Amino acid sequence: MSLGLTAYGVAATLPMSENPTADFSDTPWWVALIKAVGIFVYLLISTLLVIWFERRVIGRMQQRPGPNRNGPFGLLQTLADGMKSMLKEDITPANAEKLIYTLAPLIAATMAFVSFAIIPVGGTVWMFGHETPLQVTDVPVAVLLVLAVASVGVYGIILAGWSSGSTYPLLGGLRSTAQVISYEIAMGLSLVAIFLYSGSMSTSAIVSAQSSLWYILPAFFSFAVYVITMVGETNRLPFDLAEGEGELTGGFHTEYSSMRFAMFFLGEYVNMFTVSALATTLFLGGWQAPPFISAINDNMFGGGWWGLLWFTAKLWLFMFMFVWLRGSLPRVRYDQFMRFGWKFLIPITLAWVVAVAFIRGAQLGFLGDSKLTFAGRELSVATVVIVSIVAVIALAAAWIWDDKRAAKAAAEDVTPPEEIDPFEDGYPVPPLPGQRLNEPTGASHRLAASREPVLTTAGTSSTSTAVKEEDHG
């Protein structure tokens, strides 16, 4: 099999792997069902642990103990919170669309579990007399399946905001829509480099292709972009703009309570594990042992059930990163976040994809011995690499220059007046630095006078002396 690629006059053929998907020939349906239940339990237990882990780590960062009462080291605190959510009163707003209001948290929670089905959490093992990979299923376009399911999952947030019949949840849902549209483009583009290096979109084939070199090294820029976008995808700090408490009083789930409220957070944490598992699979060799350990004895420490251990360890590195970001960074402003996605991440990732296409073409020698023919000239691998890096740096510099130029122009164009009327528009407006207040006249003067304090005694009211004299005058 082969994959045709044409980019800027370069015609190439990428070799596909001989076995593009995992081998499930010896996996009966009931074994697949057991694996699916196992993945479900694995994610539930991991969610309970990561909530406790997050509260303990952030407590340490902020010099406070965190949960330490229920169970040893507070391990049962998350379970107690779950029981509390189950026993709390479930309130449905009067203006809510009842069916959609109930369906939204179910969509948000279940879609996160579905994405994990194509992640290989370990190698091939013996299970109940059958040889099967530690993966529920695999398809030739498995990575695209994860992106598609993540796009469907955001419908839960959108529908929750719309069906609540309230303004702030609606604004939170709209924010989430724009956020996902912006950052899924950059996320998908960042994964193109992995497809070019591995020659496949199957998760198991990508893991197998990293047996000698993890893709975090050749695709370092794709890894950086993916990490940024996966934080934006999961609505986590500093990108939790769909549920900003200071702006939206809670965001899309403001009107939810009890277990329906808890299901949104279950979906959020499971989604964190899903995007972290995808990053582990695409950039960190998946379930394979680190190179220095696999070099000692790969059969003893790298294959079979050992792969589940290595996969879980890599997964929790990303979970610690999520917790670290939440405890360290403030929430960004919404317009800055959107501008960063559209005007920086997407253009520079496009340039990176083109650069990787040229580099891979030169490395594989599609059109000559380690040469790449472009516009009738032969270019060496070093030349292509240098030109690609310079192009990416130039694009980043152009973005920074444009940002500073726009900020300077905005500062020059907007000149506040030296004098302002605080009651000009009917509301008291404080002066900006360098401004002074002028005396209110006309309607503004009467409005200012009417806002003088009123004294009420024994059923009668009187304004201040100054206001009385003005009225009689």
Q: What angle do CA 13, 18, 19 make, to 5 degrees?
A: 130
Domain ranges for the chain: 17-332, 349-414, 419-472
Angle between helices 346-364 and 381-413 (to 10 degrees): 170
Q: Give me the pLDDT at residue 5, please.
A: 36
Give me 111's structure tokens.
């879609």
Task: Of 231-240, 332-341, 350-359, 448-457, give the lowest mean pLDDT range.
Answer: 448-457
pLDDT-derived band of residue 246, with 50, 70 and 90 as boundaries? Answer: low
> Is residue 459 pLDDT above 90, yes or no?
no
Which tokens in the block code for residue 224? 């950086």
- Token pair recorded at residue 376: 């009738």
Q: Directed axis angle between helix 77-87 and helix 258-283, to 10°?
A: 140
Report how far residue 100's alpha carbon sits from residue 251's, in angstroms, rounded to the nearest whole number: 17
How much is the average pLDDT of 411-440?
Answer: 64
Higher pLDDT, 360 or 464: 360
Residue pLDDT, tens place only, 59-102: 888 888 888 888 888 888 888 888 888 888 878 888 888 888 88
Least confident window among 126-135, 163-172, 408-417: 408-417
Looking at per-residue pLDDT, the higher value among 244 and 473 belongs to 244
Choice among 42-51, 236-245, 350-359, 382-391 with the minimum mean pLDDT? 382-391
Looking at residue 391, what is its pLDDT?
66
Residues 40-66, mean pLDDT to the nearest whole number: 89
Question: Where does the pLDDT of residue 321 fall: very low under 50, low under 70, confident under 90, or very high at 90 and above?
Answer: very high
Q: Which of 37-46, 235-244, 421-430 is predicted most confidently?
A: 37-46
- Residues 226, 279: contact at Cβ < 8 Å? yes
Peptide bond preceding 238: is omega within 30 degrees of 0, i.e. cis?
A: yes
Mean pLDDT score of the chain, rounded to an integer?
76
Instruction: Report CA 400 to chain centroid distance, whole Å.
Output: 23
Percent of the chain at pLDDT exceeding 90 = 8
| Beta carbons of 135 and 119 less than 8 angstroms apart | yes
Tokens 């694996």 belong to residue: 35
Three-state DSSP string of the chain: CEEEEEECCEEEEEECCCCCCCCCCCCCHHHHHHHHHHHHHHHHHHHHHHHHHHHHHHHHHCCCCCCCCCCHHHCCHHHHHHHHHHHCCCCCCCCCCHHHHHHHHHHHHHHHHHHHHHCCCCCEEEECCEEEECCCCCCCCHHHHHHHHHHHHHHHHHHHHHHCCCHHHHHHHHHHHHHHHHHHHHHHHHHHHHHHHHCCCCHHHHHHHCCCCCCCCCCHHHHHHHHHHHHHHCCCCCCCHHHCHHHHCCHHHCCCCHHHHHHHHHHHHHHHHHHHHHHHHHHCCCCCCCHHHHHHHHHHHCCCCHHHHHHHHHHHHHHHHHHHHHHHCCCCCHHHHHHHHHHHHHHHHHHHHHHHHHHHHHHHCCCCCCEEEECCEEEEHHHHHHHHHHHHHHHHHHHHHHHHHHHHHHHHHCCCCCEECCCCCCCCCCCCCCCEECCCCHHHHHHHHHCCCCEEECCEEECCHHHHHHHHC
Using 50, 70 and 90 to split pLDDT, how confident is the model at 352? confident
Q: What gap in Å lies between CA 92 and CA 102, rounded to an integer?
A: 9
| pLDDT, tens digit, 9 for 90 and up, residues 14-36 | 444 444 677 777 788 888 899 88
Q: Is the pTM of this model over 0.85?
A: no
**Contact between 226 and 319 (Cβ < 8 Å):** no
Paired tokens of 134: 């530690």
CB contact at 8 A, 278 and 321: no
Least confident of 123-132, 202-211, 438-447: 438-447
Question: Over the range 310-331, which residues count as b (16 or more CB within 10 Å of their CB) and which as e?
Answer: bbbebbbebbeebbeebeeeee
Residue 94 phi/psi, 5-degree rounding, is -65, -35
Residue with the bigger pLDDT between 394 and 272: it is: 272
Number of alpha carbons in the 13 Å side-chain half-sphere of residue 99? 0
